[in-house]
Amino acid sequence: MSNDRVLVIEHEAQCPPGWIGESLTEAGVRLDVRRPYRGDPLPDDLSEHCAMVVLGGSTDAYADDEHWWLAPTKQLIRLAAERGTPTLGICLGHQLCAVALGGRVEKNPLGPQIGVLPVGWLPAAEDDDLFAALTGEQVAVQWNSDIVRDLPERAVVLARTDRDEIQVVRFGPRIWGVQTHPEVDAGIVAEWAEHDRAASAARGLDVDECVAGIAAARTELRASCHALATRFAELSREVVTTW
């Protein structure tokens, strides 16, 4: 079966595919970006897609009553887990993967994670199909208040922050979640910073300093995203050829 389409679920205009979309396209797959907040339908299943990426957003992972597409997105995640369809959840997408598969998300009791943070790779990542080649010294953008607190059964943590918060998880053989934002550049984050300026200042966070840090780390961040997307595309093609 020939299928090179990756389903991308975008939750809001301020959280686009960004670098991950560019790199997946460069790696030879086609993006099918669905924007349900604008009225785009979601597919009933993943039979016409070789992989799925669920992007981030500012909503709560449990806000199914407010955002009609969250429940069907969780169902697609469950179908991906059953089918073995490679799936990458980013920030909110990571949290949706956790909730869909039986985990729990809550406000981070240690407060928001904002800025360029080190990725704390654990030994389990060294043998992971997606992340094994990406486990050297690395930094990543984080911009979140909620975190995954309880993992679904059989999930494996691949990275934690230096405060022990979960950063990267393998939820199943082909389902991964990252609390980080590999897809963003300083321009995208600058919009978030403007929106969060007052709340961040009240918490003692300088959002302009965070944006400047992201801009300074651009080369490293872009390279990490490209490597992640390239490997994810390879895994998507591997699954397609075995159907």
Find the catalytic residue in 181, 210, 225, 226: 181
Q: What is the DSSP string of 46-98?
A: STT-SEEEE---SS-TT-TTTSTTHHHHHHHHHHHHHHT--EEEETHHHHHHH
91: left (phi over 0), alpha (psi -120 to 50) or beta: left
Handedness of CA 130, 135, 141, 143 (dihedral sign): positive
Q: Is there a catalytic annotation at residue 67?
A: no
Q: Is there a catalytic annotation at residue 15?
A: no
Q: Is there a catalytic annotation at residue 225?
A: no
Question: What Å distances lie between residue 96 and 59, 100, 178, 224, CA to CA?
Answer: 11, 6, 11, 23
53 has which bridge partners?
Answer: 8, 88
Three-state secondary structure call for residue 9: strand
Find the catalytic residue in 183, 210, 225, 226: 183
At residue 147, φ and ψ (nearest 5 deg) are -140, 160
Burial environment of residue 162 by CB neighbours within 10 A (0 to 12, 13 to 18, 19 or more): exposed
Which amino acid is present at 230? T
- Using an 8 Å Cβ cutoff, are 70 and 64 in contact? yes
186 has which bridge partners?
Answer: none
Residues annotated as catalytic (active site), given as ranges: 91, 181, 183
